C-alpha cells in the first residue's frame, strides 16, 4: 500500500519523521499511523462484506419467494378490489411478472457473484485502498437499486373505465445488430500483389473516425492507409521489400493508431519488435518480443501479445524501457485457465479486462484486471465447426453490450458469442472459403466504424470486406 519513505510530516500526528505515502489517498503517514490507516480499510472492507452477505440473503429470499415482491403486492391489491371476471387477468399478469423477475434476479446474481470474486481477490492479495473500496461500494449500490426497482418491467393502470384495468409493461431487450450478408470490398480485392490497389495477406486493421483503414499488409511488409472510398492505398510505414532497418518491416501483424499524438504503433513480428512512427521518426518501443496483437486502453497503456512466451504484457505510456507487466498467461504453453497457447489478437474493454484469441487452444479467454487466471468466453470445446467450437480464432472485438465477435479463421466466418452462453451465432461468412461477397477466406482482423459497420481482413482473399449494418 505504501510507497518509499523519506523525512516528511505525518498527516495524523504532524511529526516530522520517516513517512510513507498511501497510494489510495496520496497522504503521508508515519509507520504507527500508517498501520492505523490500513486497519481502518480492513474494518471498512469487513462492513462491505457484511453488506454483501446481507444482500446475498435478500437475493436468495426473493428467488425462493418471488410472490413477496412489491409489484406482485400491487397486483394483489387490485385483484381484491376488482370483481371475479378480471381475476384471471390478474393471474396472467402475476405469471409474466414472476418470469421477468426471475430473469432479472438471475442477471443481478451474476453481477453479485462477479463482485464476490473481486472481494476474494482483494482479500487474497491484501492490496486495496479507498479507490477499490469506493468502487465496490458503488457497484453494490447499483445492483441493490436494480434489485429493488427492475428497470425492464413496470405496472400501467387505466382508470378511465368503471373498473380499473391493469397491464404489465415489459421493456424490450437490446436489439442484437445484424449485417448485410454480401460485403463491399473497401481495400484490395484485385488479387495477390504489391501494387497500391492490391494486398498480400492482410492481418490486423484499424479504422479511424474518418473511416480510413490502416492495414498490416503482412507479406508486403508494409502498413497501408486506405482512405474512405478510394480505389488504392498509400504506404505509410515500410515497403514492399522486407528488412530490419528502422524504415523497414518484416511480416507485420498488427497496427494501431494512437490518436492522442497521431502516431502509428506496429507489431513488427518478423523483426521481433514493436515500433512507433511519429512525425516521420521511427523508434523501437519494445525490442526482442515475438509480438502479434496490439491494443491500447483508455488510459494509454499498451498491451502486446507474445506468441513465443504465450503471454500478454502491459506497458505504461513512455515507460517502455522495462519488461512490462504480465497481465494474461505467462505460465508456459498449455490449455489450463492460467495458460495460453499462441495468443494472437487482443481487445481491452472499459474495465481493462483483456480478451485474447488463444489460437492453438481454439478459444477466446477473458482475463479481468489483476486476475491470476482467465475464463473461457468463446469456444474451448476443441477444434471444430460446430457453434460451440472455434478453429484457430484470430481477431476479437467486444461491443458495448459485452458481445464478443471472433474471426473464426479456420471456419471462414465471424461468430458472435455472448459471455456465459454455450454457443455462438454466425454473423457473416460461413459459406465456404471462396472469394464471393458472402464468403470469407481465412478472416483475421476485425473492427467496427462509428456507424456499426463491420470490417474484416480477409487474409487469403487479399482484401478488406465491409459488412454494412442493417438499421
Give residue 192's pLDDT band: very low, low, confident or very high (50, 70, 90).
very high
Query: Could you say which DSSP state residue 390 is in?
Result: B
Kindly report whether the global pTM for this prediction surpasses the value 0.75: no
User: What is the 3-state composition of the chain as percent helix, strand, coil, each rounded to the nearest 5?
Assistant: 25, 35, 40
pLDDT at 439 (0 to 100): 96
CATH topology of domain 178-470: Neuraminidase (2.120.10)
Cell of 89: 387477468
Find the angle CA(467)-CA(470)-CA(471) to the nearest 5 degrees.
Answer: 140
pLDDT surpasses 70 at 378: yes
Cell of 384: 471444430
Instruction: Give per-residue pLDDT as tens, 82-118.
Output: 666 677 777 877 877 787 777 778 778 877 887 787 7
- Closest alpha carbon to 174 in 220, 107, 243: 107
| Cα separation of the two ends of the chain | 50
pLDDT at 168 (0 to 100): 65
How many Cβ atoms are within 10 Å of 263's Cβ, its own excluded? Answer: 16
Give residue 140's pLDDT band: very low, low, confident or very high (50, 70, 90).
confident
* Higher local confidence (pLDDT), 450 or 357: 357
Segments making up each domain of the chain, as ranges: 76-170, 178-470
Residue pair 252/269 in contact by the 8 Å Cβ criterion = yes
Instruction: Give per-residue pLDDT as tens, 277-300.
Output: 988 888 999 999 999 999 999 888
Beta strands 393-398 and 375-379 are: unpaired
Query: Could you say which DSSP state residue 22 is in?
Result: B
- Closest alpha carbon to 391 in 407, 403, 402, 405: 407
Amino acid at each position: 500500500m505504501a510507497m518509499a519513505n523519506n523525512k516528511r510530516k505525518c498527516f495524523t500526528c504532524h511529526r516530522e519523521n520517516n513517512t510513507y505515502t498511501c497510494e489510495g489517498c496520496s497522504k503521508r503517514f508515519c509507520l504507527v499511523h500508517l498501520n492505523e490507516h490500513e486497519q481502518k480499510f480492513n474494518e471498512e472492507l469487513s462492513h462491505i462484506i457484511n453488506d454483501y452477505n446481507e444482500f446475498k440473503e435478500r437475493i436468495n429470499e426473493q428467488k425462493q419467494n418471488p410472490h413477496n415482491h412489491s409489484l406482485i403486492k400491487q397486483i394483489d391489491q387490485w385483484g381484491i378490489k376488482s370483481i371475479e371476471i378480471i381475476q384471471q387477468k390478474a393471474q396472467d399478469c402475476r405469471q409474466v411478472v414472476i418470469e421477468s423477475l426471475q430473469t432479472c434476479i438471475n442477471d443481478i446474481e451474476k453481477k453479485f457473484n462477479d463482485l464476490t470474486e473481486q472481494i476474494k481477490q482483494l482479500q487474497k492479495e491484501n492490496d486495496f485502498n479507498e479507490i477499490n473500496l469506493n468502487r465496490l461500494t458503488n457497484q453494490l449500490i447499483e445492483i441493490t437499486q436494480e434489485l429493488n426497482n427492475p428497470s425492464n418491467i413496470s405496472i400501467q393502470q387505466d382508470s378511465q373505465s368503471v373498473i380499473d384495468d391493469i397491464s404489465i409493461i415489459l421493456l424490450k431487450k437490446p436489439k442484437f445488430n445484424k449485417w448485410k450478408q454480401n460485403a463491399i470490398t473497401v481495400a484490395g480485392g484485385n488479387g495477390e500483389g504489391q501494387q497500391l490497389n492490391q494486398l498480400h495477406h492482410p492481418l490486423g486493421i484499424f479504422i479511424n473516425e474518418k473511416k480510413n483503414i490502416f492495414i498490416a499488409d503482412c507479406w508486403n511488409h508494409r502498413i497501408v492507409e486506405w482512405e474512405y472510398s478510394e480505389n488504392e492505398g498509400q504506404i505509410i510505414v515500410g515497403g514492399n521489400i522486407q528488412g530490419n532497418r528502422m524504415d523497414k518491416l518484416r511480416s507485420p501483424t498488427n497496427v494501431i493508431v494512437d490518436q492522442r499524438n497521431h502516431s502509428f504503433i506496429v507489431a513488427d513480428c518478423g523483426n521481433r519488435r514493436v515500433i512507433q512512427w511519429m512525425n516521420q521518426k521511427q523508434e523501437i518501443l519494445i525490442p526482442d518480443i515475438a509480438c502479434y496483437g496490439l491494443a491500447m486502453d483508455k488510459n494509454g497503456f499498451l498491451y502486446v501479445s507474445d506468441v513465443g512466451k504465450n503471454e500478454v504484457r502491459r506497458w505504461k505510456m513512455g515507460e517502455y524501457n522495462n519488461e512490462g507487466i504480465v497481465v494474461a498467461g505467462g505460465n508456459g504453453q498449455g490449455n489450463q485457465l492460467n495458460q495460453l497457447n499462441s495468443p494472437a489478437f487482443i481487445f481491452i474493454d472499459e474495465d481493462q479486462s483483456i480478451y485474447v484469441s488463444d489460437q492453438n487452444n481454439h478459444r477466446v479467454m477473458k482475463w479481468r484486471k489483476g486476475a491470476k487466471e482467465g475464463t473461457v468466453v468463446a469456444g474451448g470445446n476443441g477444434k471444430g465447426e460446430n457453434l460451440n467450437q472455434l478453429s484457430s480464432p484470430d481477431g476479437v472485438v467486444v461491443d458495448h453490450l459485452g458481445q464478443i465477435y471472433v474471426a473464426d479463421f479456420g471456419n471462414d466466418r465471424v461468430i458472435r458469442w455472448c459471455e456465459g452462453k454455450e454457443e455462438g451465432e454466425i454473423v457473416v461468412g460461413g459459406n465456404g472459403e471462396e472469394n464471393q461477397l458472402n464468403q470469407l477466406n481465412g478472416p483475421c482482423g476485425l473492427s467496427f466504424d462509428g456507424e456499426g459497420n463491420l470490417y474484416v481482413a480477409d487474409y487469403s482473399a487479399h482484401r478488406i470486406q465491409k459488412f454494412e449494418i442493417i438499421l
